[in-house]
């Protein structure tokens, strides 16, 4: 029952934000100008079909699985994927179940299953160095699955400490957040991870404060790194993408990819 309430809240929040963009004309503009129409395909996730966009560079280079925020679709990430392509990073962006052309309904369980299916798709396409990139809501998704898939690292952008605290940060009453299960406890999850974690947060994020990112980074202990970027509001890295925000992420992934590749080679020879 509590999980059903949470699913309804997530669905309501996502629909409100997407309808806002539809009525404002932003979604139409994004769809009309979308540059990766030929890069669309479908991924199976259980009995559901997920719409996805895959932009490939070098199979030996890092590949990012992009798990987007609650009010986004894959089309919102086109400029960021183009930036990654110019930086030598492959990327796969998926619509969770219930988003865009993806079938099914939105729930925390489905989001996790969808991300695992997408990660397996990257492996099937020959990518050896995969990184999970979660933005906002997606930060909870990638932390939840990181120990269940083979990846070289986790990247958390504008993330939250726990889903319950995220709900209170956006203005939901405490009594309502206490009704739903406190899943996606990012601070607790990162303590359990054995792969490197990069936490990226803007000092101008007024939705999820920088203090949340600091707590996540501190919980990572020795396997974490924190990058604080100046001047971006919560969604600005997507709607106004800049190298200032995304270039350090690409460089970090390349360093970690090289280190992980060297370790795999050493273990193979041993």
* 140 touches 160 (CB < 8 A): yes
Q: Which CATH architecture has domain 2-269?
A: 3-Layer(aba) Sandwich (3.40)
- pLDDT value at residue 179: 64
CB-based burial of residue 32 (10 Å sphere; 0-12 exposed, 13-18 middle, 19+ buried)? exposed
**217/248 Cα distance (integer angstroms):** 17
- pLDDT value at residue 266: 43
- pLDDT value at residue 9: 63
DSSP secondary structure letter of residue 93: E
Give the neighbor-by-neighbor strand order of the sheet with 153-157.
40-45, 48-55, 90-94, 63-67, 130-135, 153-157, 197-202, 224-229
- pLDDT value at residue 255: 94
What's the pTM value of the predicted model, to 2 decimals? Answer: 0.93
**60/90 Cα distance (integer angstroms):** 10
- Picking from 121, 48, 113, 44, the residue whose alpha carbon sits closest to that of residue 90 is 121
Tens-of-pLDDT digits for all 270 residues of the chain?
Answer: 556 656 666 776 777 777 788 888 888 888 888 999 999 999 999 999 999 999 999 888 899 999 999 989 999 999 999 999 999 999 999 999 999 999 999 999 999 999 999 999 999 999 999 999 999 999 999 999 999 999 999 999 999 998 888 888 877 667 666 766 778 899 999 999 999 999 999 999 999 999 999 999 999 988 999 999 999 999 999 999 999 999 999 999 999 997 766 555 444 555
Q: Residue ranges per domain, the chain?
A: 2-269
């Amino acid at each position: 029952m509590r999980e059903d309430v949470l699913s309804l809240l997530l669905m309501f929040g996502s629909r409100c934000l997407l309808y806002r963009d539809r009525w404002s004309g932003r979604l139409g503009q994004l769809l009309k100008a979308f540059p990766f129409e030929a890069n669309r395909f479908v991924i199976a996730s259980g009995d559901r079909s997920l719409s996805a966009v895959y932009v490939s560079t070098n199979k030996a280079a890092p590949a990012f699985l992009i798990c987007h925020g609650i009010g986004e679709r894959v089309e919102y990430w086109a400029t960021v994927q183009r930036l990654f392509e110019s930086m030598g990073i492959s990327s796969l962006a998926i619509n969770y179940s219930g988003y865009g052309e993806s079938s099914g309904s939105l729930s925390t369980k489905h989001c996790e299953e969808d991300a695992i299916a997408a990660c397996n798709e990257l492996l099937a396409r020959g990518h050896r160095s995969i990184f999970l990139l979660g933005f906002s809501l997606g930060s909870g998704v990638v932390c939840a699955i990181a120990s269940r898939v083979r990846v070289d690292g986790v990247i958390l952008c504008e993330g939250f400490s726990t889903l319950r605290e995220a709900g209170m940060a956006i203005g939901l009453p405490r009594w309502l957040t206490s009704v739903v299960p406190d899943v996606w406890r990012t601070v607790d999850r990162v303590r359990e991870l054995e792969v490197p974690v990069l936490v990226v947060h803007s000092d101008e994020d007024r939705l999820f404060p920088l203090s949340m990112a600091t707590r996540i980074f501190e919980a990572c202990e020795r396997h974490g790194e924190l990058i604080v970027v100046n001047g971006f509001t919560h969604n600005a890295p997507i709607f106004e993408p800049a190298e200032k925000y995304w270039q350090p992420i690409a460089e970090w992934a390349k360093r970690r990819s090289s280190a992980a590749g060297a370790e795999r080679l050493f273990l193979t020879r041993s």
